Chain A
């Protein structure tokens, strides 16, 4: 678990599910997936991602890589006919839940309660 103030705590998950840091330059070397524990450096060493959510967490590092290797950055092919949830909205609530967990562990109860409210309102939006 990264300590308070580490890059993970600065992560905001936007509506598009984009992982952004509050400052515009992302320190890729410090990125770590809160879900599976894979770091960006692990990924660069092995070439393998740890979980689907890594595509959200490491997005800023993946984009130039995909541009180089695949010469594309946007999927144009088939999509599920019954789309339950994409990694983006999956990431949104999941990301909030992780931030909640971190806030609780850091004993930042004010932030925790704010995040909890946010999750509830999102869940209502999604009709779940």
Chain B
């Protein structure tokens, strides 16, 4: 597996299938772990970091002997490749920008990634398409057990798994789901949802962890608290709210169709039109327009393009992906021009395929 092969595929989290996949994009669980006998990464010297890497790499290789993970030496990747891994959610921004010896082990399906020497010695991640937070937990729990058999984790009877930052201590667990909530955003109900979530100790972030203004109406909901609750309780808390939010979003979409169908149809059609004809376009505008088109496709307001292609474009129009697909480094305006041309081409191909499908369908009846 090489990073250029990955660029042409759309990765696990935007595969676009799984339960409730029109609204729940993906589910993810992360665990933070540290080895007992080393200082945390911010205090560790280069020698210690290398030792941690050697030890964890050996362990990870041993336990995944049948389905090997692929290691990338993050410290030696170009900044473009590091950004590419961030866009695919395989490493964190912190891991990309950290210093010193660090690596990531990735499953070929991209559902597992293990970051070594991030803020903590080991950050495990399991990510699935659609709504499957419990399966993520089950997978990561087994993986964690297997690693734990071979290394000595820093653990305290009182504080649980010890982490560099006390906001992660205890379970060391962040469970999150990524939701696409364009109708709640459009009808300005989203803030009310967030306030309700904060009251039950859940945090809301944007696609790549940014603040309130979520790019492309993608919202990540995760547990705020890692100490004093069992992993089961953390998962259950999320399982209680996700169906409720999914229902709110569906209700808001139905409301828009019922009361403002013309306006909504106009909005998604304009978004689609802009994406098909723009000569230069920023990443942010692309995300916003794709978000409208995605909802339009889900509501059958746009019928000549498939949801897979739209999911694809969300990731392929990101800066590092675009540059990898174009095979060259592109800055500023050149990149926006390349993005617009890429979108025009893919959407034109998508329409031809869509029309072909439409032509075949009647004859099949």
Contacts and interface: CB of A to CB of B under 8 A. Distances in A.
A37 B152 CA distance: 22
B225 A80 contact: no
A75 B154 CA distance: 14
State the majority secondary structure of interface residues on B: loop
A107 interface: no
B261 to A, nearest CB: 45
A73 interface: yes
A20 to B, nearest CB: 14
A55 B40 contact: no
A124 interface: no
B156 A87 contact: yes
A92 B228 CA distance: 24
A17 B39 CA distance: 19
A61 to B, nearest CB: 10
Interface in A76-110: 76-88, 90
Interface string A26-48: 00000000011110000000111
B157 A66 contact: no
Given A38-B43, A49-B166, A66-B166, A74 B148 contact: no
B158 interface: yes
B42 A50 contact: yes
Interface residues of A, number: 38
A118 interface: no
A70 interface: yes
A37 B156 CA distance: 20
Contacts of A90: 36
Given A52-B36, A85-B152, A75 B228 contact: yes
A82 B162 contact: no
A12 to B, nearest CB: 17
A72 B166 contact: no
A67 B324 CA distance: 47
Contact of B164 (A35, A48, A74, A87): A48
Contacts of A87: 36, 154-156, 159, 162
B165 A75 contact: no
Interface in B87-134: 119
B43 A50 contact: yes
B159 A84 contact: no
Given A70-B170, A87-B155, A90-B36, A49 B165 contact: yes
B173 interface: yes
Given A48-B165, A50-B42, A80-B153, A75 B36 contact: no
A51 interface: yes
B149 interface: yes
A77 to B, nearest CB: 4
Nearest to A72: B228
A10 interface: no
Nearest to B153: A80
B231 A69 contact: no
Given A48-B40, A48-B165, A70-B227, A80 B156 contact: no
A70 B227 CA distance: 6
B169 interface: yes
B157 A75 contact: yes
Interface of B: 34, 36, 38-40, 42-43, 119, 141, 144-145, 148-149, 152-162, 164-167, 169-171, 173, 201, 225-231
Given A56-B156, A62-B159, 6 more contacts: A52-B154, A75-B161, A77-B229, A86-B157, A87-B36, A87-B154
20 contacts: A46-B42, A48-B42, A48-B165, A49-B40, A49-B164, A50-B40, A55-B162, A55-B169, A66-B227, A70-B227, A71-B228, A73-B227, A73-B228, A75-B160, A75-B170, A75-B227, A77-B171, A78-B171, A81-B149, A87-B155
